Amino acid sequence: MNRKEYLEKLESFKGLPRGWNGYDAPPPPHAIVEKAKLLAPMLEEVGIWPRFVSPPVRLGIGLSFYGEESRYAELCVAFEDGYRLLLDEVDKEDGIVVREVPQDGLKDALREILEFVGMHMCS
């Protein structure tokens, strides 16, 4: 994914109808989409783009990063203030870390994702 694809994907969420997920999920609020768009310059600066961006159902928009050795990370752009970071070593029983990330800690969280998943360049 690159900047253009990231922004286009987020913009597409604005057109989702109620029940877009096959159940009764409401359309994503435009404010959460705009909040996720604000991450584009920081993602570009750190040099990491998510492989997938998923629309919000419960917590917010999910930015998914996959890496080497069964490692997965997700940054959730939360409906409320703040963000949530999930780091998961899939092949380890206790390999999951979840924590809140404040606005001023986003760049460090993205760098941590970059290191954790073993990505060395934008994909």
Condensed to tens digits (0 to 9), the pLDDT of residues 37-89 reads 999 999 999 999 999 999 876 768 999 998 877 888 999 998 777 798 989 88
CB neighbourhood size of 112 (10 A): 18
One-letter identity of residue 88 = D
Domain boundaries, the chain: 3-117
Q: What is the pTM of this model?
A: 0.86
CB within 8 Å of 65: residues ≥ 6 apart: 48, 50, 51, 72, 73, 74, 75, 113, 117, 119
Phi, psi dihedrals of residue 30, rounded to the nearest 5°: -60, -30
The radius of gyration of the chain from alpha carbons, rounded to an integer in Å, stands at: 14
Q: Is 41 helix (H, G, I), strand (E, B) or coil?
A: helix
